[in-house]
Amino acid sequence: MTDIQLIGSPMAPEAEEVVPALVGAERVLQPLARRGVFRRLMRDWTARIGFVLVVLLVLAAVLAPLLAPHEPLALDGGSFESPSWSHPFGTDRLGRDLFSRILFGARLSLGTAFFASLLITFAAVFVGSVTGFLGGAVDSVVMRVVDTILAFPSLLLAIVVAGLFKPSLWSLMLALASVWWVGYARIVRGLVLAVRERQFVTAARVAGGRSSRILIRHILPNVLPPVIVLATLEMGTLILAISALSFLGLGAQPPTPEWGAMLNEGKNHFFSAPHLMLFPGLAISAAVLGFNLLGDGLRDVLDPKS
Amino acid sequence: MRRYIVRRLASLAVVLWGVSILAFALGSLAPGDPARLLMERTLGHQATDEEVAGMRQELGLDRPAVEQYVSWAGGAVRGDLGTSWSNRNDQVSDLLLERLPRTVMLAVTAMLTAVIVAVPLGVAAARRRNSVTDHASRVAALLGASVPGFFVAYLLMFVFGVRLRLLPIFGFDSPQHLVLPSITLALGSAAILTRLTRSSLLEVLGEDYIRVGRAMGLRSRAVLFRHGLRNAVIPILTVIGLSFGHLLAGAVIVEWIFNWPGLGKLALDGIHARDYPLIQGFVLFTGTVFVLMNLAIDLAYVWADPRVRFQGQGA
């Protein structure tokens, strides 16, 4: 799994540990929608903080062009200005407004994390459901590939893969997805194996349904919800990984206002102008904290033991 | 038990084989022509097609991929991972072995730091559930898991290195140089360990035998440490073992920030220099280390937990 700990986020749940809860929660999941997951979620103060942080972040990303006092790439201040009324977070070496850059950075961080998790979910559902459903040689071979990739801490492998390509946000996203899908694929496969044995699948088979139809109409609808929940839980980890790789110079490149890349730019002037690192660092921390708190709360609410 | 170990070793061999293919593929599937890259780096200017072709032959890149893999893997088995393209053409295996102890030193210090902070904090939190201590430990763990280490590193440098001038910031000349990198590296693991200690201790404290112990009038300290913590220790040990892998991965970033000449810095420098033999060697080496470490953890787990041990014998 994730590793993050990486300095990554150890708080993100280990896949193996979430899944039994989620699978068990399957029965609970549907009625929960009626009983109000959201209301139960908001009962916990930490989840409330997480929710507020995430909402603020999404607002910042969506409304960046309206909220930003300056253009993120415009050189319209003195260099290394300290925070002031016209530049709330100060300016960088080239006189760009840090506050505006951070607002636009929210789009990049959230957007990249969102598309990466979309890619991951897609790949995992495809591979996991096909191997779980077909079994046999395909299954054994693919699962050995999965074992091999899982032998490494995800972040470490993502760093190596991203390093092979010309650094950009796209190559970073592909590198993350190419490593991160495996854990999910194993989970999807496990879920498919469990659902495959259920009576309604047997019934569909007896009724003469084709395999592909059974997989798509009967099995996948039961597999998707827990996988989507899991992907949501891991948004914080992904945001952390994205900024870590960009910080190492393996992702977004200057002048892109990506938070990790901004930290990388700021580190050369850290001792003379610490605000260059302080604000992007706080932005990353707030985003990761928000998603982790929300994810933790969601996990508690969905856990049938609670 | 023996059957379990045999099965575990068989799957280990398959995964190691997979790791070697992955390591090789990462170096050879990379976009761009490594022969041209290396030739132009040695020449310092644009290379002609003939020169590139010559270099390709010299490197053996004109042979089929399978043949290249076999000769590379064959060398790797004998401890020969080829020569590094940067680093004065040193042997990759020498470079890796020279840097390994420094990374291990960093990771072990970080792990000890994490355990020393996290276990008492987790025990205190579990002992007084919903107390101020409990909430404070929860907040600390959340922050430790969410604030990126590469940000904390600079905060620490600023406070202890620049403002207070207590500790050195870069390099690795003295024991003091170890302090800031290991604290940075320890944060994530400390956060997860605190929460895990709390939750597994709480779970054990809810068991019937604890209630019996209390009912029979055992002192709460004896219940807590002799019966509670002892039974909570297995999941804690497992996580300690597992987070070593993550520590080694996190070390890549921490070593880069603090200019700590370990494995991670070697790898990142190799990545930035597109030193493919070094990257392949690093991936194979760390992959093997992780696989073996996971095996050791699994076996230790079987050995430490009589329930698992005897179940294995029965099977």
Integer Cα distance of B83 and B60 in angstroms: 13
Distance from chain centroid for Cα B17: 20
Integer Cα distance of B4 and A296 in angstroms: 35
Burial (CB count <10 Å: 0-12, 13-18, 19+), residue B16? middle
What is this model's ipTM? 0.87
Residue type, B108: V
User: Cβ contact (<8 Å) for B250 and A159?
Assistant: no
* Burial state string for A36-60 with b = 16 or more CB within 10 A and e = fewer than 16: ebeebbeebebbebbbebbeebeeb
Please write the tens of the pLDDT for every residue from B213-250: 778 877 777 777 777 777 777 777 777 877 887 788 88
Q: Higher pLDDT residue, A9 or A217?
A: A217
Where in the sequence of chain B do the CATH 1.10.3720.10 domains occur?
Answer: 93-305
Q: Which residues on chain B are in Cβ contact (under 8 Å) with A249?
A: 272
Q: What is the pLDDT of residue B307?
A: 66
User: Cβ contact (<8 Å) for B154 and A270?
Assistant: yes
pLDDT at A296 over 90: no
Q: Among the CATH numbers 1.10.3720.10, 2.60.40.420, 3.40.50.10420, 3.40.50.300, which is that of B93-305?
A: 1.10.3720.10
Q: Choose the mutation target among A5, A259, A279 for the interface with B, i.e. most B CBs under 10 Å.
A: A5
pLDDT at A127 over 90: yes
B292 touches chain A (CB under 8 A): no
pLDDT at A283 over 80: yes
A57-302 sits in which CATH class? mainly alpha
Please write the tens of the pLDDT for every residue from B166-182: 777 777 777 788 889 99
Average pLDDT of every residue of chain B: 84
B293 touches chain A (CB under 8 A): no
User: Cβ contact (<8 Å) for B31 and A165?
Assistant: yes
Burial (CB count <10 Å: 0-12, 13-18, 19+), residue B210? middle
**What residue of A is the nearest CA neighbor of B15?**
A148
Please write the tens of the pLDDT for every residue from B141-159: 888 888 998 999 999 988 8
Q: What is the pLDDT of residue B115?
A: 92
Q: Which residues on chain A are in Cβ contact (under 8 Å) with B248?
A: 153, 156
B157 touches chain A (CB under 8 A): yes
Domain ranges (residues) in chain A? 57-302
Token pair for residue A235? 């948004």
B115 touches chain A (CB under 8 A): no
Distance from chain centroid for Cα B241: 10
User: Cβ contact (<8 Å) for A155 and B249?
Assistant: yes
Kindly report whether the peptide bond that precedes residue B101 is cis, defined as omega within 30 degrees of 0.
no
